[in-house]
């Protein structure tokens, strides 16, 4: 199993250009997430999906769009890149189930990340 994969690993864009980041998982997880990680800011949720064909906004959704046409893929799009979107982007997937000791368990499995620079 490859787990969670991300394409590309690195990318440099000019302001105003567009691009799509691809995330794929082979664990049959229902939930998928896109985060960005910036120094001193931790992981911040951009968008997420709880199933094929559904998406929802996270903490920092502005400037990004997503699509989940297939269960195993979650795409993150930047329509008009800005320097403020320079960051490391992580995709994650999870299943949600009942924890043995109660509560809901949703361990997240992360992809290797995409390092994006917008000039």
Interface residues toward another protein, by CB under 8 A: 31, 33, 35, 40-45, 48, 50, 58-59, 90, 96, 99, 101-113
Strands (E), the chain: 4-7, 10-13, 19-25, 31-38, 42-51, 54-57, 64-67, 73-78, 87-94, 97-98, 104-105, 109-110, 114-118
Q: Name the minimum Å distance from CB 100 to another protein.
A: 9
Cβ of residue 16: shortest distance to another protein, in angstroms? 29
* Shortest CB 39 distance to another protein, Å: 10
Q: Which is nearer to another protein, 18 or 117 (CB)?
A: 117
- In the complex with another protein, which residue's Cβ is closer, 83 or 112? 112
The contacts of residue 41 (CB under 8 Å, 6+ apart) are none
> At closest approach, how far in Å is the CB of 110 from another protein?
4
Looking at the Cβ atoms of 19 and 30, the one nearer to another protein is 30
Which is nearest to 77 in space by CA: 42, 29, 116?
116
Closer to another protein by CB, 1 or 102: give it.
Answer: 102
Q: How far apart are CA 69 and CA 81, in angstroms?
A: 23
């Amino acid at each position: 199993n490859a787990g969670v994969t991300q394409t590309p690993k690195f990318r440099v864009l000019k302001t105003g250009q567009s691009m799509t980041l691809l995330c794929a998982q082979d664990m049959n997880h229902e939930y998928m997430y896109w985060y960005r990680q910036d120094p001193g800011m931790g992981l911040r949720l951009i968008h997420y999906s709880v199933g094929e064909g559904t998406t929802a906004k996270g903490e920092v959704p502005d400037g990004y769009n997503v699509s989940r046409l297939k269960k195993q893929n979650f795409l993150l799009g930047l329509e008009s890149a800005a320097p403020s979107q320079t960051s490391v982007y992580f995709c994650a997937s999870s299943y949600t189930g009942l924890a043995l000791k109660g509560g809901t368990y949703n361990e997240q499995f992360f992809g290797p990340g995409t390092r994006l620079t917008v000039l």
